[in-house]
Chains A and B, each alone.
Chain A
Amino acid sequence: MTWLARRLVTRALLREWGRTLLTLAAVSLGVAVFLSIRLANRAAVASFEQFTLGVGQGSDLVIRTEAGPLWESRLPALRPLTEWAWMRPIIEGSFARAQTMEGFQVLGLDLVGLGASANSTLPSSSEETLHRSATTGFYATLQDPVAILIPAALAAEGWSPGDLMEGFIQERAVRLRVAGILPDPPHRPKLQRNLLVMDLPAAQRLLGREGELDRVEWGLRPGGNLPHFEAQARRLLPPGLIMEPPEQRAESGRTMTAAFRFNLTILSLIALAVGAYLLFQAFDASVNRRRETWATLRALGQAPSGVMRLVLFEAALLGLLGSALGIGLGWLLAQGTVQGVSRTVNALYGASAAQRAGMPAPEAWLAVAIGTGACLIAAWIPARRAARTPPVQLLAREGHLTPTRWGWMGLAAGTALLLGTVLAYGLRPAPGVAWHAYAGSALVLLGGSLLAVALLPLLGLPGRWTRRWRLRLALRPLLRPTGRHGFAAAALAVAIGMTIGMGVMVQSFERTVLAWIGSSLRADLYVAPIGSTGAGSQHRMGADTADGIASDPAVAAADRFQILPITFRGRPTFLGAGDMGVQASRGGLILAAGGPFPGPLLALRKGGTSDPGVLVSETFSRHFGVRVGEVLDLPAPGGLRRATVRGIIADYGNERGSLLLDRPVFLAWFQDPRVASLALFLRPGESPEAFAARLRREHPGLQVRTNGALRDQVTTIFRQTFALTYALEAIGLIVAILGLGQGLTGLALARRGEIWSLRALGATQSDLTRILMLEGLGVALAGLLSGLGLGLLLARILVDVLNPQVFGWTLGFSVPWGFLGLVSLATLGAAILVLAPMARWGARLAADREVEEGA
């Protein structure tokens, strides 16, 4: 067997190097796309987790409030816990560097206390640094209200102690001084680059949050017992405080980026799915080309299983080599992709700084398993055919062109499409659960690919009646399509279907979001502290600044908006507050339930603090199963507060959902007058641009955007989010078009006797090329038509079922005809480009058997 394998497989692969390279390219491209997305996702999420964890590695428990700040005054109640564990109070904030506007996480830690803690969770090497520095007056330096410690990664860029870093915290201009460098911990992930550590009191002062904390981390002393400690903590925990494992914060970060990562992972699977079709074609063509070899082996007494093993050995060899190449290529691609993913995660969630993707061994093994597995699966049917078909049939020239039973295909296509649609739309599982939508989509994909095969005879119909001999010869094969026709059309249909499905969903999403923005963003100007990004941003504007701007004579009305992360029923969400009076008279919130605008908003204002009301976003309503009229117990610093749901609003700002209170109620409950952003409605005749320019001069720490600029920014972020989507779709489509070319090559090879015969009858090279081209275009058209229908159905499932079910977003379905036309033209154009050389090559095929093994 080894002797045979060396001669029949490895030697053939070397001699047929063109085919070998093509197959290797298909495997490596599929593996590379899949791997690069995984690596980039991994890097971005790791960076996100690092960001959320900060330097808080090694703690065993985190205590924080469900909503609002954790006041230092509540800590004495927890003092008895220090018998079993050390504690580390932490405050977090954001710093935006001047000029570059680069965002940094500011972490306020009790650095003086850290030196005394027996098992501080700062990396041990950092502690050593601190202790060493203590002798040189480091502690004294840290009492400097603007001193910061920077990570080694930032120091590597040229920052050193004594350097000044200018920028903004909240809306105030500050100048921070580098006091020391935090070395990377030896056996833990490196500290993220965008981290600035300050002494706790200094950070509290700079952030304008004296006496406040965000959380307290606890670490067991040596020999400590975690369950016992948790029990003690639970006993002492004052009302309104919650305890959770430190991983919980990272987990909620993972949840936060889930939609984006899910989108990318699904897309990378397209490349794999279409690549699998391509591989099947490659192995099918390989077996077909060498059928005489397999037949001869069988005739010489080789068992069918032996033939099968040889074909599968070839597949495994190509799979391993292709995967190895794919791993290298995937790592390279990931370096480019990670920047895009990081940029998007940063734009959406304000928290990622990954610049490079690593290559963990499990990912490499997964890539090898997927690449080799895909090759073995793709080669299985051709291998079985080579093993089971009687030698005499393998040797027959035309015997292998078995027409597809397209009638059954049509029936199967219809059944799969119907079942898929019924499954996706018919079931209503719990929010967040969407297996029915995935299974339905998979069935619809299967149905769409079968439909492409069933469409071939319909497209071939003109070939039955036409008297034009070239058209007749080109279209007649489609009347009785073979497996090769079918596979090429099906692969194209899947690629186009996924492209159209995702494209229509994204465009529907974009239009819905733009309509939402158009309705809800009605102010002339939006003002926020510099560095503010998404809902997760920690920059806040002081109440005085907001009041000062709001009372400007040019301003007719101002809506002061505040938002905080809270924990509701054990899950993270956001609580926002705005001025319902201003919103009701000037805003345009879109209401999904609770009555027409502005009724529910006025009800909130009327209820005030005596009968508090709340608006919830659709996402919130779906995730928590909350309806209008329901009374919610909301966490607040003074304990749980009751509020009645007065309406459900559309909100596409985040995936966790949000609650919206009237500002007076929020102030009464939270006593936090700070503002995350300010929406300004100017008096008639005031120029937004001129007023914005004046505000920028007077408040350099604020970013002031006109309505148009803000909309542009939102649109840019939205498109940036989906930029990778389009790139991946393009790869899927290219792979499918290459598959079409490969399919045509196989068809031409299988029909070289016919081609030879036509040449003998007087057909010119050009006649033959046109015939093969037309036939290929017929296949492309079947794939395109089926793909368009499949894509629209998939898009409907994504829009109507998957998005509301998983993310809680209701999207309006809109068909972007221009996009459909563009994809159609691009597909046909690309098909012509690929088919033309293949057809020219096919037209020159000689009929003699020598070409069979070497072509």
Chain B
Amino acid sequence: MAVLQARGVGRRFESSWVVRALDLDLVAGERIALLGPSGCGKTTFLNLLGGLDRPDEGVILLDGESLHQASPARLADLRRSRLGTVFQFFHLIPTLTAEENIELPLRMLAWPEARIRERCAELIQAVGLAHRAAAWPSELSGGEMQRVAVARALAARPAVLLADEPTGNLDRASGQAVLSLLAELTEQQGSALVMVTHSEAAAGICHRVLRMEDGRFLDGTL
């Protein structure tokens, strides 16, 4: 059964449609790459899937629950517990250390302290940054920052991880390391992944590739 479904989703800015008539079914553990040129609507669609934006037409269901009908509070709740997000520009909180960034979603969910410590230790180990746990984001390299962002996005074991150009701001080696991490961790946790990318190589870690152009999926990519 699909954990995330999109049916006839469209979003317009002023009078022009940025994305339109998009359908998607994402099953648990599945990894999908959204591939396409700049401006084709990939990020807009990702934001809609993550409940960060609302569609002008169509529906998006997360575990059968309609995102566009959910209240802002419920949306926030879903983002805490069921969705994880990784950004191209990392967006780590600069005033929290690497470790504190990772534990932030767990504190937002009010996990018990012992479980937070345990989960955080597990994740920081998994992303290979145990020795950098106390570092500030400004002291980390791009690759390290993105690894922290991946750990943070997966901390609460979300059903779906949304990644927007996760390697777009990294060198090749760091990018490859982050992609491997994404594949490995989502595999371990059984989380589904929707990844926006320009790169065919990055798309290689996914089970399916959806190609977009002018706000629509190209025929036969579903």
Chain A residues proximal to chain B, CB less than 8 Å: 397-398, 401, 463, 467-469, 472-473, 476-477, 479-480, 753-754, 756-767, 847
Contacts and interface: CB of A to CB of B under 8 A. Distances in A.
A760 B79 contact: yes
Nearest to B13: A850
A467 B117 CA distance: 12
A842 to B, nearest CB: 15
B89 A754 contact: no
A598 B81 CA distance: 85
Contacts of B76: 759, 762-765, 767
Nearest to B71: A764
A700 to B, nearest CB: 77
A476 B95 contact: yes
Contacts of A765: 72, 76
Interface in B77-136: 77-81, 83, 85, 87, 89, 91-96, 100, 104-105, 107-109, 113
B50 interface: yes
B93 A762 contact: no
Contacts, number: 73
Contacts of B83: 762
Given A398-B94, A479-B95, A480-B95, A760 B77 contact: no
A754 B96 CA distance: 11
Given A473-B96, A762-B76, A753 B81 contact: no
A401 B93 contact: no
A757 B95 contact: no
Contact of B79 (A468, A479, A480, A759): A759
Contacts of A473: 93, 95-96, 104
Contacts of A467: 107, 113
User: Which residue, of A397, A467, A758, A761, has the highest number of chain B Cβ atoms within 10 A?
Assistant: A761
Given A759-B52, A760-B85, A753 B91 contact: yes
Contacts of A766: 73
B147 interface: no
Nearest to B94: A398
B108 A762 contact: yes
Given A762-B80, A766-B73, 12 more contacts: A398-B94, A463-B95, A472-B107, A473-B95, A757-B91, A757-B92, A758-B93, A761-B85, A761-B105, A761-B152, A764-B73, A767-B76
Contact of A754 (B77, B78, B80, B91): B91
A765 B77 CA distance: 11
A757 to B, nearest CB: 3
A41 to B, nearest CB: 48
B136 to A, nearest CB: 8
Interface residues of B, number: 28
A341 to B, nearest CB: 50
Nearest to A474: B95
User: Which residue, of A463, A473, A763, A764, has the highest number of chain B Cβ atoms within 10 A?
Assistant: A764
16 contacts: A397-B89, A469-B108, A473-B95, A476-B93, A479-B95, A757-B91, A759-B79, A760-B52, A760-B85, A760-B87, A762-B78, A762-B109, A763-B108, A764-B72, A764-B76, A766-B73
A344 B107 CA distance: 61
A171 B18 CA distance: 91
B212 to A, nearest CB: 19
Given A761-B105, A761-B108, A477 B113 contact: no
Given A467-B113, A469-B108, A763-B108, A753 B79 contact: no
User: Which residue, of A477, A763, A766, has the highest number of chain B Cβ atoms within 10 A?
Assistant: A763
A142 to B, nearest CB: 85
Contacts of B91: 753-754, 756-757, 760, 847
A758 B80 CA distance: 10
B72 A762 contact: no
A757 B47 CA distance: 12
Interface in B33-91: 50, 52, 72-73, 76-81, 83, 85, 87, 89, 91
B117 to A, nearest CB: 11
Nearest to A757: B91
Given A397-B89, A469-B108, A753-B89, A762 B79 contact: yes
Contact of A469 (B87, B95, B104): B104
A754 B93 contact: yes
A473 B94 CA distance: 10
B113 A754 contact: no
B105 A757 contact: no
A472 B104 CA distance: 10
Contacts of B52: 756, 759-760
B162 to A, nearest CB: 8
A754 B87 CA distance: 11
Please name the 5 residue pairs, one residue from A and one from B, whose CB atoms are nearest each other, closest first.
A762-B80, A476-B95, A757-B91, A469-B107, A762-B79
A472 B81 CA distance: 20
B79 A761 contact: yes
Contacts of B93: 473, 476, 754, 757-758
Contacts of B85: 757, 760-761
B166 to A, nearest CB: 13
Nearest to A766: B73
Contacts of A759: 52, 76, 79
B26 to A, nearest CB: 18
Given A401-B94, A473-B93, A476-B95, A761 B104 contact: yes
A389 B83 CA distance: 38
A759 B47 CA distance: 11
A473 B93 CA distance: 8
Contacts of A463: 95
A469 B95 CA distance: 12
Contacts of B94: 398, 401, 754
